[in-house]
Homo-oligomer: A and B are copies of this chain.
Amino acid sequence: MRITIAQLNFHIGNFRSNLEKMKNAVDAARKEDSDLVIFSEMSVSGYPPLDLLERKEFIDQCQSAIRELLPVSHEIGIIAGTPTLNPLPEGKNLFNAACLLYNGEIAAVVHKTLLPTYDIFDEYRHFEPNKSFHVVPFKGEKIALTICEDLWDDQPLEQEFGKSRLYTISPMEELARDNPGFVINIAASPFAYNRIEAKKKVFIRKARKYHLPVLNVNQIGAQTELIFEGGSMIVDARGNIRHQLKYFDEDIYHFNLKDLTGTPGKEESKPGKDYVPMVYDALILGLHDFFGKMNFRKAVLGLSGGIDSAVSLAIAVKALGNKNVHAILMPSAFSSETSVTDAVELSETLKVSYDIIPINKMYDTFTKALDPYFKKKPFDVTEENIQARIRAVLLMAFANKFGYILLNTSNKSEAAVGYGTLYGDMAGGISVLGDVYKSDVYKLARYINREKIIIPENILNKPPSAELSPGQKDSDTLPDYSMLDQILYHYIELLTPVEKIIQKGYDKNTVLKTIRWVNQTEYKRYQAPPILRISSKAFGAGRRMPLVAKYDEPFKK
């Protein structure tokens, strides 16, 4: 049997575009004499459609799309992902399904069993879990057709309290009883730089456990904050990765099933990439697709002379092209001289248009208007925030007048501790670096500079500062980023209990202060823009916190 894996970039609700891509892939497969083309999870609708699944119009379109694919399946099998209706009056309205189309008919439908409900996933919200297990017969083969998590049943459900927990059922064990010839796993599994190796190991482990080839088809492309890296895998029955499709790009691959069961040839597994280049590629794809899928074209951002906006600009130029990015430099009385010269140098290196608009006059008008009410109260965070908010007003004015989308350039460290101004530097249509800790922003900058200097060395070397008050430095308020980021990573990504973080040797007061900052600034992050997600726990839809002043009580010792 000859098989084609089609790793494509789908667009939620853009049924026309999704169908066209699928039909083109089937054409390509046909030319290669393939017997079967496999698409990723929910390919006809795009993933994740969230509450669009509650709209009849949306489900109708999914059904139409499947009907439209049927004639294309003449003498070639198509496995497509789609939501399907649950005909029973009990349980959720829908299934998350994989349909095998063949010779104009729906030859088989498989429903997803293990519906993830952790982090960004809400699949129990709309889908009824499958409860019966059968292999899918096709051209003399028996296929164990699984959907994403259904093959991950021995993976930790979620890292709760540091314990790995298992699912209560194993769909693959059920299917194995029917003696399938190989495993197909269609997926929509989002990128997290700290989960890439774990994903590979799932497929390798399953291939070895069941002595079966595993064909994994992941989607690529970004949807708002979620980035799907692709990297679909073909693993032979001995657990060797025989081929891996591209990361962060569409890719189609044709191969003969029998080649996977024979003696393995040379192993084609690519070496595990260092995470920084992957994060860089992920952010470029994320930004590119956010603009493309929202019908946006041009971006504007505030260039402060600091590292965050510099890295954001470099990524934006890669994602959107230098002609589509505009930088605005808005120095205040507290800006250092090199802030402007560094930002200008960067803009010119990247061939990006820029304007310089000092904010002093606007700042003076505000403070003068407020003087009668503030009287002689000393300069404080109020005046710092006024500067940040004036910049947001200017940036949004450019955005409104010229149709730009404002890029938010905050990093994850400052988002975590609330070191930012709501409606000021926290503004933006999308956050480029909001899931990247400050230490990693430096790593990205060095990676961007790997061949030639793009980001001026001065930007990399100066001490971080918001430049909102005289001589201000981040280190006046925050612990050293190298330590801060470690504490944050333990608390946010790993959910490490506070006591255990302290036991690791971090200064107790710094740990408690940091964690209190994180908890007390949930209300700020509630209103943050969507953040491109590159880790296993980003701020946003995957981290749901109540707003309550008291919930740091458990951490008060």
Query: Which residue of chain B is the closest to A330 with respect to CB atoms?
Result: B369
Let me know if A553 and B117 touch, CB within 8 A. no
Let me know if A400 and B429 touch, CB within 8 A. no
Which residue of the partner chain, among B52, B168, B386, B498, contacts A393 with CB atoms under 8 Å?
Answer: B386
A-B contact pairs, 19 of them (CB 8 A): A13-B546, A13-B551, A14-B551, A46-B548, A50-B545, A56-B495, A61-B554, A91-B157, A117-B117, A117-B122, A125-B544, A224-B548, A294-B547, A295-B550, A362-B366, A370-B401, A374-B397, A380-B401, A527-B529
> Does A138 have its Cβ within 8 Å of any Cβ on chain B?
no
A545 contacts across to B, CB distance below 8 A: 50-52
Query: Which residue of chain B is the closest to A128 with respect to CB atoms?
Result: B168
Within 8 A of B (CB), among A228-242: none
Given contacts A117-B122, A551-B12, contact A393 B393 (CB under 8 A): yes
Let me know if A554 and B57 touch, CB within 8 A. yes
Q: How far is the CA of A551 from the CA of B13 in the complex (A)?
A: 5
Chain A contributes a number of interface residues (CB within 8 A of B) equal to: 103
A301 CB to nearest chain B CB (Å): 15
- Give a binary string over A71-91; 1 marks a CB under 8 Å from any B CB, 0 the rest: 000000000000000000111
Please tell me which stretch of A158-166, A339-347, A453-461, A502-510 contacts chain B, meaning at least 4 of its Cβ atoms lie within 8 angstroms of it: A158-166
> Does A143 have its Cβ within 8 Å of any Cβ on chain B?
no
Q: How far is the CA of A224 from the CA of B14 in the complex (A)?
A: 35
Q: How far is the CA of A380 from the CA of B399 in the complex (A)?
A: 12
Which residue of the partner chain, among B12, B59, B543, contacts A546 with CB atoms under 8 Å?
Answer: B12
Q: How far is the CA of A17 from the CA of B550 in the complex (A)?
A: 10
Let me know if A14 and B554 touch, CB within 8 A. no
Let me know if A13 and B48 touch, CB within 8 A. no
Let me know if B166 and A224 touch, CB within 8 A. no
Let me know if A55 and B554 touch, CB within 8 A. yes
Given contacts A122-B117, A527-B528, A528-B527, contact A293 B549 (CB under 8 A): yes
Q: How far is the CA of A370 from the CA of B91 in the complex (A)?
A: 57
> Does A438 have its Cβ within 8 Å of any Cβ on chain B?
no
Let me know if A553 and B15 touch, CB within 8 A. yes
- Give a binary string over A481-525; 1 marks a CB under 8 Å from any B CB, 0 the rest: 000000000000001011000000000000000000000000100
> Does A541 have its Cβ within 8 Å of any Cβ on chain B?
yes
> Does A28 have its Cβ within 8 Å of any Cβ on chain B?
no
> Does A377 have its Cβ within 8 Å of any Cβ on chain B?
yes
Which residue of the partner chain, among B160, B167, B390, B554, contacts A93 with CB atoms under 8 Å?
Answer: B160
A93 contacts across to B, CB distance below 8 A: 157-158, 160-161, 163, 165
Q: How far is the CA of A128 from the CA of B167 in the complex (A)?
A: 10
> Does A38 have its Cβ within 8 Å of any Cβ on chain B?
no
A239 CB to nearest chain B CB (Å): 25
Let me know if B294 and A549 touch, CB within 8 A. yes
Given contacts A61-B553, A293-B549, A293-B550, contact A89 B50 (CB under 8 A): no
Query: Which residue of chain B is the closest to A93 with respect to CB atoms?
Result: B160
Let me know if B161 and A59 touch, CB within 8 A. yes
Given contacts A393-B366, A554-B58, contact A12 B168 (CB under 8 A): no
A468 CB to nearest chain B CB (Å): 12
Q: How far is the CA of A48 from the CA of B365 in the complex (A)?
A: 45
A59-B161, A224-B548, A355-B373 are known; give 11 further A-B pairs, CB within 8 A.
A14-B548, A15-B554, A56-B161, A56-B495, A90-B168, A117-B117, A294-B523, A382-B397, A392-B423, A396-B422, A541-B544
Let me know if B553 and A16 touch, CB within 8 A. yes
Which residue of the partner chain, among B56, B91, B546, contacts A48 with CB atoms under 8 Å?
Answer: B546
A11 contacts across to B, CB distance below 8 A: 548, 550
A540 CB to nearest chain B CB (Å): 9
A128 contacts across to B, CB distance below 8 A: 168
Query: Which residue of chain B is the closest to A554 with respect to CB atoms?
Result: B57
Let me know if A91 and B396 touch, CB within 8 A. no
